[in-house]
Amino acid sequence: MESVQSIKQRFGIIGMNPLLNRALEKALRVAVTDISVLVTGESGVGKENIPKIIHQYSHRKHSKYIAVNCGAIPEGTIDSELFGHEKGAFTGATSTRSGYFEVADGGTIFLDEVGELPLPTQVRLLRVLETGEFLKVGSSKTQKTNVRIVAATNVNMSDAIQKEKFREDLYYRLSTVEINLPPLRERKEDIPLLFRKFASDFAQKYHMPTVRLDESAHKILTQYNWNGNIRQLRNVAEQISVLEKERELNSVVLMSYLPDMGSQLPAIRRNEKTSSDFASEREILYKVLFDMKNDLNDLKKLTLELMNHEVSDDVQEKNQGLINKIYGQKTSDDSQEAFQALPVEKQLQDPVENPVQSYDYAETITEEEPLSLLQKEIEMIKRALERSKGKRKLAAKELGISERTLYRKIKQYDLSDESEE
pLDDT tens, 279-310? Answer: 545 556 666 676 777 777 777 676 666 665 55
pTM for the model stands at 0.60
pLDDT band with cut points at 50, 70 and 90 for residue 259: confident
The residue among 348 and 238 whose pLDDT is bigger is: 238
- d(CA 381, CA 385) in angstroms, rounded, equals 6
C-alpha torsion sign, points 384, 385, 387, 393: positive
Cβ atoms of 24 and 182 within 8 Å: the answer is no
Nearest to 247 by CA among 200, 286, 292: 200
Cα-flanking dihedrals φ and ψ of residue 417, to 5°? -70, -25
CB 125 within 8 A of CB 68: no
User: What's the pLDDT score for residue 212?
Assistant: 93
Contacts 24+ apart (CB under 8 A), 324-329: 325/295, 326/295, 326/296, 326/299, 326/365, 327/355, 327/368, 328/372, 328/375, 329/355
Alpha-carbon span 317 to 320, nearest angstrom: 5
In whole angstroms, what is the distance from residue 409 CA to residue 384 CA?
Answer: 13
pLDDT at res. 312 = 52
Res. 178 pLDDT band, cuts 50 70 90: very high
**β-strands 37-40, 97-98: how paired?**
unpaired
What is the 3-class SS of 296-345, one letter each residue?
Answer: HHHHHHHHHHHHCCCCCCCHHHHHHHHHHHHHCCCCCHHHHHHHHHCCHH
The number of beta carbons lying within 10 Å of the beta carbon of residue 59 is 12
Which amino acid does the sequence have at 393? K
At a CB cut-off of 8 Å and minimum separation 6, what does 152 contact?
A: 38, 39, 40, 41, 47, 48, 50, 51, 110, 111, 112, 113, 114
Q: Alpha carbon of 306 to those of 298, 325, 346: distances in Å?
A: 12, 19, 12
User: Is the pLDDT at 276 greater than 50, yes or no?
Assistant: no
Q: What 3-state class would DSSP assign to 357?
A: coil
Alpha carbon separation from 24 to 2, 62, 66, 213, 384 (Å, rounded): 11, 21, 21, 30, 55
Mean of pLDDT values over 398-420: 75
* pLDDT (average), residues 334-352: 50
- Is residue 113 within 8 A of residue 42, CB to CB? The reply is no
Percentage of residues of the chain with pLDDT beyond 70: 74
Q: Which of 86, 81, 83 is nearest to 69 (CA)?
A: 81
Quote the CA–CA distance of 23 and 207 in Å, as a whole number.
35
Cα angle 96-99-104, degrees, rounded to a multiple of 5: 135
Q: Is the pLDDT of residue 335 over 60?
A: no
Question: Cα 200 from chain centroid?
Answer: 23
HSE, side-chain direction, 13 A CA sphere, residue 69: 6
Question: Cα 213 vs. chain centroid, distance in angstroms?
Answer: 19
Q: What is the mean pLDDT of residues 33-56?
A: 95
pLDDT reading at 144 higher than 50: yes
Average pLDDT over every residue of 128-140: 92
Give the lowest-confidence range in 50-54, 185-189, 208-212, 413-417.
Answer: 413-417
Task: Write down how long the chain is.
Answer: 421
Helix (H, G, I), strand (E, B) or coil at 414: coil
pLDDT tens-place string over residues 189-239:
999 999 999 999 999 999 999 999 999 999 999 999 999 999 999 999 999
Residues with Cβ within 8 Å of residue 361, at least 6 apart in sequence: 299, 300, 303
What's the pLDDT tens digit per position in 21-32? 999 999 999 999
Say what the pLDDT of residue 272 is.
42
Instruction: Summarize the confidence of residues 94-121 as an average pLDDT.
Output: 94
Exposed (0-12), middle (13-18) or buried (19+): which is 247, by Cβ within 10 Å?
middle
Which class for 4: exposed (0-12), middle (13-18), buried (19 or more C-beta within 10 A)? middle
| CA atoms of 7 and 190, how far apart (whole Å) | 17
* CA separation for the pair 38, 23 (Å, rounded): 12
Handedness of CA 53, 54, 60, 65 (dihedral sign): negative
- Helix, strand, or coil here: 177? strand
